[in-house]
Amino acid sequence: FANRCLIKDFERRPSVTHLLDHPFIKRVRGKVFFLQNQLAKVLQDQKRLNPVTKTRHERMHTRRPYHVEDAEKYCLEDDLVNLEVLDEDTIIHQLQKRYADLLIYTYVGDILIALNPFQNLSIYSPQFSRLYHGVKRASNPPHIFASADAAYQCMVTLSKDQCIVISGESGSGKTESAHLIVQHLTFLGKANNQTLREKILQVNSLVEAFGNACTAINDNSSRFGKYLEMMFTPTGVVMGARISEYLLEKSRVIKQAAGEKNFHIFYYIYAGLHHQKKLSDFRLPEEKPPRYIADETGKVMHDITSKESYRRQFEAIQHCFRIIGFTNKEVHSVYRILAGILNIGNIEFAAISSQHQTDKSEVPNAEALQNAASVLCISPEELQEALTSHCVVTRGETIIRANTVDRAADVRDAMSKALYGRLFSWIVNRINTLLQPDKNICSAEDGMNVGILDIFGFENFQRNSFEQLCINIANEQIQYYFNQHVFALEQMEYQNEGIDAIPVEYEDNRPLLDMFLQKPLGLLALLDEESRFPQATDQTLVDKFEDNLRCKYFWRPKGVELCFGIQHYAGKVLYDASGVLEKNRDTLPADVVVVLRTSENKLLQQLFSIPLTKTGNLAQTRARITVASRSLPPHFSAGKAKVDTLEVIRHPEETTNMKRQTVASYFRYSLMDLLSKMVVGQPHFVRCIKPNDDREALQFSRERVLAQLRSTGILETVSIRRQGYSHRILFEEFVKRYYYLAFRAHQTPLASKESCVAILEKCRLDHWVLGKTKVFLKYYHVEQLNLLLREVIGRVVVLQAYTKGWLGARRYKRVREKREKGAIAIQSAWRGYDARRKFKKISNRRSESAAHNQAGDASNQSSGTHSPVAAGTRGSAKVQDCSEPGDHKVFRGSVDHRSHSQAESNNGHAQTSSNSRAVTEKNGHSQARSSPKGCDIFAGHANKHSISGTDLLSSRICHPAPNHQGLSLWGAPQKPGKKN
């Protein structure tokens, strides 16, 4: 068997499953810790027997990231599907043992169960991110990084959007799980821009400071729904992000339940401004806390001023603003609006009576009103008028009516909620603008998304109001989405494809959702209908529910007038109907909108000029406002100021879409929008479990965990993942995706059963089933196929790299040879040109020398010199004086005759050329021999250098010598005193 493991042909080599079936491996199962101790003992004995003088100490890096202290940990199953006995007690036992060993993650097939450890674990460092990067899931223990990696690999491999749904009760760790998923996805999709990665990592912290708060069961509870979409290029590089926010719990701004707090940002900013000694700049008191953040204990100001955590959080928020890209002026405007909200909460009203009216209200303490108006940059008189009165248009006439004290307080609180809600939406929209993909890299349409849903968990408090009702309805919708993907769609595929599978029974919450959402007799529809009646009360609302909601999921407890109960998937919840109608109406008077639009704060103007969407959020800024918002709040130019003035003149209903929309209608559209985003991608589920209600580390409550497992359908999920087929792929898509594994690259196999069988058998997969049109695979099959496909593609990439290298080298060689030939041609042409140029220079120099010598002979003849050389020179000078062509010919003839006679007298030792302009080397030698007393310049050099006619002529001039025979140097007989 060991020899077979060394076979080079990997197809003939035994697989890992064969190795695990080996008798030796089977015998050591469960004895890992014992064998480790034995091995350590053997090593120590060897060290004692063979001591080493110099030891090199190194750390041993293992693939398993968790520190192991006992052998039992290895015996626990990482995947509940592999359990032999499948019941509640076995599953609870496995989860409890794993939790005691800080193994908080467990698989249920391709679904991850995450138990909140309520402590910091050192298993989220970059080293762990590298461990869970593109490896087989079984290579490492279960981890949140593995789920993020699975979604990322599916996105890159399948070129399809992905969706990670994180669900669970409040306090089960959903927000932290979303943080970790974003962290790992940012690591996997490493962008070329380091700043972009930092921005994406800071988004969650910034949004959660404005959207999270401390509740009775969770110190950092999400009070809004968040769907974060990370956008990637087709090659898997992160290029941007986008946030969608739903159903912010605005009512928390004005009032919190006992033991709860307002949104985090109010405490952070108060502590930061107190530390910077800037509270007075924002008109905030230093002693008594504002009413919106005060609590019954009276320790708020002490905590704000003494706790370092608040101040550090404020500095962290400032860092987030700076990293993401907010300008200092934008951040300052945000702080002013937050301070304005706190000052508005301090405005109080008192009733005054007059002769004709007794329910009029006024502001007895003008200081709070002045502070709020100053911070918001509006007129205090106009603010007071908007709070204490309202306009009514009747038959074309405008009537101003006074508000009662309660009505004025409601308007004040509605103003605060609207300010905070619109500010939160503006921050989200601004983040989306700053994190949108760069069009130069890749357009958003060409890329792919991984969506991460972090929504408020199921809540059941001692007093549950309208907010808890909306939150729990949203969780019902998420549970229905989970049931559809895990149970309903899978079993429907079995029936359609003729697959023999045992149906799994599960709790379907569709009837409960219909009770909430259907029209016209659903709970939300009845709530909207009752909200339209001015005379309706909370009592009439509950009566209407009881009369129309006749089903097993709704009941009305006896003895409690304003309460009703709902049987949710996670248990029974009793709701208090007090104030539900007013919360659902959520009306903001138009007078308040008009006043806020007159603010000198450009950001505040913008918040109440942009319309609201159907989900109740601030719409994305229009083009002309977007340009201005990038530099808010600097003053607009004259043209833009005119546009804003026109918008202020408009009636608020035209620009804010205030068509009596209710919170229930916003909620309905929010669910529709959220589901439309989720259904596009392939889902991955993370089920967060809260091990205890006391938030204590290492404390495991079997009853609480079992209740959550039952409500989330984990037991049924284990069954269907064990016997079911979670992946169902069409033949055509399967062959197109995996044909590389069994066919050659140039082949085009048919999308048939035979091709699918060939691929599956080639990959040595088992327990798969073929339907009529689809391949049915277990949850682990796709991971195996993707790993094999990645390996094959890696080999193809290597071959392509070598081929491209060889082609590149050959192309380079051709180019180099062509360049060398071109260089040779250029060099040859240059040398020819250079030689011709030099020859031309030499020729010109010779001509100039000849002309100069002839001019000298002419001057000697004119002065009466009778030397032969002078006569010869004069003869040559006559050439320069000839003005007729015939004279040139006579002169040339005489010179040729003389040269020929001289050559014959010297026994033919010299020859003359027919051209007398240049005297050859032989002429020079012959004349030198015939003149023994001639010029010494010819001695010893006649055989080495050729002397041109011009040089010879000049040498004769320098060394004149008469001939013994009375002949001139030119060879013609000369008579003394005779002139030529």
- Tell me the CATH number at 753: 3.30.70.1590
Entry field: residues in the chain:
980
Distance CA 152, CA 232 (A): 10
- 929: helix, strand or coil: helix
Give strand ranges (E) for 152-305. Answer: 162-168, 212-213, 221-222, 225-232, 238-246
CA-wise closest residue to 161 among 442, 450, 447? 450
- Domain assignment present for residue 812? The answer is yes
Domain end among 776, 809, 833: 833
Residue 801 burial (C-beta neighbours within 10 Å; 0-12, 13-18, 19+): exposed
Domain end among 801, 833, 865: 833
447 annotated ligand binder? no
- Structure confidence at residue 357 (pLDDT): 58
Here the contacts of 896-901 (C-beta below 8 Å, separation 24 or greater) are 897/972, 898/970, 898/971, 898/972, 899/923, 899/970, 899/971, 901/971, 901/972
- Quick one: tokens of 101? 């060993």
Torsion (CA) 757, 762, 764, 769 in degrees, nearest 10? -10
Mind listing the pLDDT tens digit for each residue in 152-210?
A: 998 998 888 999 999 998 889 999 999 999 999 999 988 667 788 889 989 999 999 99
Containing structural domain, residue 782: 727-833
- Domain assignment present for residue 327? The answer is no
- Residue appearing with tokens 């204990």: 297
For residue 216, the tally of other CB atoms under 10 A from its CB is 15
856 annotated ligand binder? no
Here the contacts of 895-904 (C-beta below 8 Å, separation 24 or greater) are 895/970, 897/972, 898/970, 898/971, 898/972, 899/923, 899/970, 899/971, 901/971, 901/972, 902/926, 902/927, 902/930, 902/967, 902/970, 902/971
CA-wise closest residue to 366 among 383, 341, 342? 383
388 annotated ligand binder? no
Residue 642, H or E segment:
helix 638-649
- Domain assignment present for residue 804? The answer is yes
- Quick one: tokens of 652? 């608020």
769-770 vs 774-777, strand pairing mode: antiparallel
Distance CA 434, CA 308 (A): 31
168 annotated ligand binder? yes
Mind listing the pLDDT tens digit for each residue in 287-335?
A: 889 999 998 778 888 888 888 899 999 999 999 999 999 999 999 999 9
* CA atoms within a 13 Å half-sphere pointing along the CA-CB vector of 643: 13
Residue 198, H or E segment:
helix 194-211
- Structure confidence at residue 356 (pLDDT): 61
- Residue appearing with tokens 């969407």: 613
Give Cα 529 to chain centroid, integer Å.
45
Distance CA 212, CA 206 (A): 10
Domain end among 802, 833, 864: 833
* Number of independent structural domains in the chain: 2
- Domain assignment present for residue 840? The answer is no
Alpha-carbon distance values, 334 to 305, 422, 472 (Å):
22, 11, 31
169 annotated ligand binder? yes
C-alpha dihedral sign at 189, 194, 196, 199:
positive
- Domain assignment present for residue 803? The answer is yes
345 annotated ligand binder? no
> Could you tell me the maximum CA-CA distance found in the chain, to the nearest angstrom?
168
- Domain assignment present for residue 40? The answer is yes
Q: Which residues of the chain have pLDDT under 70?
A: 1-17, 50-76, 191-192, 354-358, 440-444, 621-660, 861-980
- Domain assignment present for residue 866? The answer is no
- Domain assignment present for residue 750? The answer is yes
- Quick one: tokens of 112? 């991850």
Distance CA 808, CA 799 (A): 14
Alpha-carbon distance values, 659 to 84, 352, 524, 589, 654 (Å):
60, 33, 18, 12, 9
Residue 242 β-bridge partners = 229
Q: Report yes or no: 828 and 853 within 8 Å, Cβ to Cβ.
A: no
The model carries a pTM of 0.69
